[in-house]
Amino acid sequence: MKRALWVTVILLLIASSAYVVWADYTGPDRTTTKQVRNPNKDYWTCVKGSQTCGPFQNPANPCPDYGGYPPNVDFQQNSCGWIADSCYCTKAYKTVTVELPPATVSGSFSCGTTGDNGWCCGGASIGLTANEPLSGEVITLIEGSPGVLCNPPDASSVSCSWTGGGDGSYSVNFWAHSSYGDTSGQSNTTWSLDSVPPGVSMGSSGGLPGGGGWYLAGPVTVSASGSDATSGVSSVGVSVGGGDWSTSTQVNGDGLHVVDLRAQDNAGNVANSTATVGIDGMAPTLTTSTSGNVGQAGWFVGKPVIISAVASDSLSGVAQIEHSLSGGAWVGGTSVEVTAEGTSTITFRARDIAGNEAVDTATVKVDTLEPSSHFTYPADGSESWVSGELALAGTSSDGTSGVSTVELSLDGGSTWRELNLQADEWSYVWSTLSVPNGVYIVLARAQDNAGNMESTARITVHVNNIQPTPTSLPPTPKSTDIPPTATTTTPAVIQESTATKTSPTLTQEPTATLEPGSILEPSPTVTDIAKVAWAPETSDSTPVPFEPAGEPISGPISMIVWLWLWPAVTMIGLTVCFGFAKALDSRPRTLRRLRDDLARIQKFRN
């Protein structure tokens, strides 16, 4: 039911619209009636409050526009019985039948540019003229089957042109509208215009098609085709590189070939167009570059390492650049960041619009990790007391670029010597007899092939070699050799130097009997130090053997005790000696003992 109702509504709308299109044309209709003013039939009506009185019709008293006036007071009193507040007049008309001559219209087609086969190629128009014979009436507009043709200023006689017919060939009906309310009769003329050149396009066949309209190889056969919706196509032609016109021709060879096309319609309009045929059988040019923190031997020692690709193609142009990292998926982009340690392979490929492809592969080696070295004997970070030869051993390794060199320093990093590395292991025998007793910082470091230098491995070595014992004491100096003051100065230690390194300032350890190459763990106690410094001599000047007493003070504590206490013990001994010498008043004996003490101190420091 609802569907039927909607169908009915749609049909009514269509019918009404069709009526509207042609409703404006009525044709001449000059037999008509008109309302003409009739003042003899005018009448008055009077009003007082809610009361009305009338109408009063009096031919001698029309409405005011014809000279009339309202009824007077006496008339109102006599007719209504009261005097009105106001009175109003109603005009009267009469119907008259009139037969009048109709409006007329005429028109003709004209052409500015005449074409072939009776067609106009441009400047087409219809000249229109309309007249209204009735005085006081005018022509308001001229309408036709396409719609309003022209709307000149209203006048009894008008002329205008219509140029909106467009391309095509058809008959145009038209009529004039009059202010009288009707139209003229219909007139018509023929409209024939083809002002648009035909369409022309290129057709192709053969060759090896690529992408983007390009061909990977020729020959390609090209031809022209035309289209014209008005008068129709009469002829077509194609020319390559300025050659002769023909219906088809061939294109071959890499490059962008220019093809001229031509078409003509039946009205004489000619269309020219240019097309191109591209043949690209060459792959694009692809180059890669790498940037980053460069180390040694082709390795990079910083992250990230950026690999970039640049592609160019002089024919169809570059369409896409992709990369694959170490055999992974292809990803679009002209650069890639490498952060993985070790060797990575980056493959770039560039494809041009035609479909040709170029591939370039780059290898990137990244090593940002330091090599690792360790002392295996003595152990890393250990502290040892040694004499004679000391066998040092350790390992150095690098899991990425590999170890390039291993170096050892016996003087805390002032000088270095290169070691022989075999299967990540190295060793070195150090003869400590060639250096003064003291504390030595021994370092080991490695550098990998990429140039990374590690933080060094470290051990501490206390060198404590046995000093040779003199067979006899030096002769007693004469009294003239003794300084005039009782204050003594500790002799300076003379340090040895070698051609390969400079010995550091040494801190002395107490002497003890050691086997060559042994490591001394305990250190003598303070009591033992005193005994060594002040051991009494026999009548034949033979030194009394060292006899330790009590538990030894070992390790770094013994060093600290010795460093801080031996000057005090020495000064106490000297004070005692000078006291005894003064009490006994024996200067030669005192001087001799002082000499012996100084000799022992000098010997002990050496």
- pLDDT, tens digit (0-9, with 9 covering 90-100), for 381-437: 999 999 999 999 999 999 999 999 999 999 999 999 999 999 999 999 999 999 999
Q: What pLDDT is recorded for position 604?
A: 54
Q: Which domains does the chain have, with CATH numbers?
A: 23-27+99-193 (2.60.40), 39-91 (no CATH), 199-279 (2.60.40.10), 294-366 (2.60.40.10), 372-463 (2.60.40.650), 481-505+522-605 (no CATH)
For tokens 């009077």, name the residue: 46
Q: What does the DSSP 8-state code read for residue 125? A: E
DSSP bridge partners of 46: 53, 87
- pLDDT, tens digit (0-9, with 9 covering 90-100), for 11-64: 444 444 433 344 478 899 888 788 888 888 888 999 999 999 988 887 778 998
Question: How far is it, in rounded angstroms, from Cα 598 to Cα 245?
Answer: 125
Indicate the pLDDT class of residue 284, thresholds 50, 70 and 90: very high
Question: How far is it, in rounded angstroms, from Cα 105 to Cα 162?
Answer: 14
Q: Is the pLDDT of residue 481 over 90?
A: no
Name the average pLDDT for the chain: 80
Residue ranges of alpha helices (H) inside 53-179 are 73-80
* Among candidate residues 464, 490, 494, the one with its CA nearest the CA of residue 567: 490
Task: Write out the two tokens for 539.
Answer: 């009548």
Q: What pLDDT is recorded for position 477?
A: 46
Q: Is the pTM higher than 0.75?
A: no
Question: How far is it, in rounded angstroms, from Cα 506 to Cα 462?
Answer: 10
- pLDDT, tens digit (0-9, with 9 covering 90-100), for 52-100: 998 888 777 899 888 888 888 888 888 899 999 999 999 998 888 878 8
Question: How far is it, in rounded angstroms, from Cα 596 to Cα 434?
Answer: 29
Whether a cis peptide bond, with omega within 30° of 0, leads into 378 is yes
Q: b/e string for 284-308 if b means 16 or more Cβ within 10 A?
A: bebebeeebeebeeebbbeebbebb
Report, as an integer, the average pLDDT of 447-473: 83
Q: Residue type for 18, please?
A: A
385 in Cβ contact with 518 (< 8 Å): no
Report, as an integer, the average pLDDT of 279-304: 94
Indicate the pLDDT class of residue 574, thresholds 50, 70 and 90: low
Q: Is the pLDDT of residue 259 over 60?
A: yes
* Among candidate residues 563, 574, 572, the one with its CA nearest the CA of residue 488: 574
- pLDDT, tens digit (0-9, with 9 covering 90-100), for 508-530: 343 333 444 445 443 333 333 33
